[in-house]
Copies of this chain bind each other. A is one copy, B any other.
Amino acid sequence: MNARMSPAPSSPASAGTTLLVLDADPPPRLGRLTGRVRVEHADDTTLAEKLPHADALLVWDFTSHAVRRAWPGEGPRPRWVHTASAGVDHLMCPELAASETVVTNARGVFDQPIAEYVAALVLAMAKDLPRTLDLQREREWRHRESRRVAGTRACVVGSGPIGRAIARTLKALDITTALVGRTPRTGIHGPAELDRLMARADWVVCAAPLTAETRGMFDARRFGMMQPSARFVNVGRGQLVVEAALADALSKRWIAGAALDVFEHEPLGPDSPLWRVPDLIVSPHMSGDTVGWRDELSAQFLELFDRWAAGRPLRNVVDKERGYVPGH
């Protein structure tokens, strides 16, 4: 029985323990583990072969779907998987969910950056900044009236740390903000109230995890119930939104504008019609990635590694059935 097979609490990592790192660009700072653990790297093509020899797996390349593909294969599996992302949709599969393996995520690192990014988009749309930049390019001075955000209403969908940080930031701008989560509780509305809240919102912001229940939740019906002056922002996952329905809603002016930072297929190819949908801001999945983010993710992983190696309970443990870290 090798170390990998031992139950986590009684098996501190040793030089014989293997940490497998799935990465395109290796993470910074892992040198700190030298001598404590054997670090091996894998890519999409080698992951399946290396997985049975790993005690722990760090999914550093969170754009890869290799874990979901390789996991159901033959042989032993790592006891611990950490992903350097908030969402776990890219790695979760029924076999991993049913296994004993503990999955942790990067809860906390992206909250404030994403909240600021959403505020940037909301304010940019209220102040008609994209049009200002277009007119600047044309060297055209054209005064327009813009909108106040104070006193408007937002509906933030997703009540995890990111959604809550977004709500806090929007409230700081005097936007009346409602938060919607899977489980209604103090300060958080349940899914049954979503339609009512969306129908009166000036801003609908999606920061939900991608799960079986949330996939495609923003569809033609929901865009159809929004106000014509309202705008939609997605910083969650692309598959939460029916992209064709959003493009249609914008083209028909059912809603006034939208901003997407995440897409069903990433990277968005040059042929995607989404680049040119009127009043749609397209950004390349960057909302949480502020200078130093890789260092922060690395530091967070190392802290979790120390706990794991010492046999202490991990933090940020994902509920694998629900697909996110349950919070309060």
Contact = CB atoms under 8 A, between A and B. Distances in A.
A214 interface: no
Interface in A269-316: 269-270, 272, 275-276, 281-286, 289-291, 293
A143 interface: yes
A133 B284 contact: no
Given A127-B117, A145-B293, A133 B136 contact: no
Contacts of A268: 141
Contact of A286 (B124, B130, B143): B143
Contact of A133 (B127, B147, B266, B281): B281
Centre residue among A126, A132, A268, A293 by max chain B CB count within 10 A: A132
B147 A291 contact: yes
Nearest to A151: B112
Interface residues of A, number: 50
A112 B150 contact: yes
Given A113-B148, A145-B286, 20 more contacts: A112-B148, A116-B149, A117-B127, A119-B173, A120-B124, A120-B127, A120-B129, A132-B283, A139-B272, A139-B275, A140-B270, A141-B266, A143-B286, A143-B289, A145-B290, A145-B293, A146-B291, A147-B290, A148-B291, A172-B172
Interface of A: 112-113, 116-117, 119-121, 123-124, 126-127, 129-130, 132-133, 135-136, 139-150, 169, 172-173, 266-270, 272, 275-276, 281-286, 289-291, 293
27 contacts: A113-B146, A116-B123, A116-B126, A116-B127, A116-B149, A119-B123, A120-B120, A121-B129, A132-B281, A132-B286, A136-B282, A136-B283, A139-B276, A141-B266, A141-B267, A141-B269, A141-B284, A142-B284, A143-B285, A143-B289, A144-B286, A144-B289, A145-B286, A145-B293, A148-B290, A169-B173, A172-B172
